[in-house]
Amino acid sequence: MWDELARLHDVHLAGVAEQTLVLKIAEEVGEAVQAYIGVTGQNPRKGVHGTRDDVLRELADVVVTAGIAMIGVAGGDAGAARRHLERRLADVTARAGL
């Protein structure tokens, strides 16, 4: 995953300000929320629409966008971003007693 994220960052997004990369996460989260609202019918005006696959696709976009933002914040170092995520995941699972 990190190799692909690094390529996306390096080829398409290396010149994009890290602020923009981080803000894009919020945009993607909004799209995931919209998809979930559609699947669950929480907007009475629109009713139920979309599928759980739509929600999963949007959530995957959140993960991809966050990974690219992590690489950007790490100065383009995908290895540093990966190590940070691994450390954080270890902290969270330890705190959960896993």
Write out pLDDT tens, residues 28-51.
Answer: 999 999 999 999 999 999 999 999
Q: What is the pTM of this model?
A: 0.93
Query: How many Å apart are CA 12 and CA 46, to the nearest integer?
Result: 35
Q: For the chain, how many structural domains are there in total?
A: 1
Query: How many Å apart are CA 98 and CA 90, to the nearest integer?
Result: 9
Query: How many Å apart are CA 22 and CA 16, to the nearest integer?
Result: 10
Q: Name the pLDDT band for 78 (thresholds 50, 70, 90).
A: very high
**Residue 87 burial (CB count, 10 A):** 10
**Residue 67 burial (CB count, 10 A):** 22
Task: Tell the burial category of 26 from Cβ atoms under 10 Å away from its Cβ (0-12, 13-18, 19+).
Answer: exposed
65 lies in which domain range?
2-95
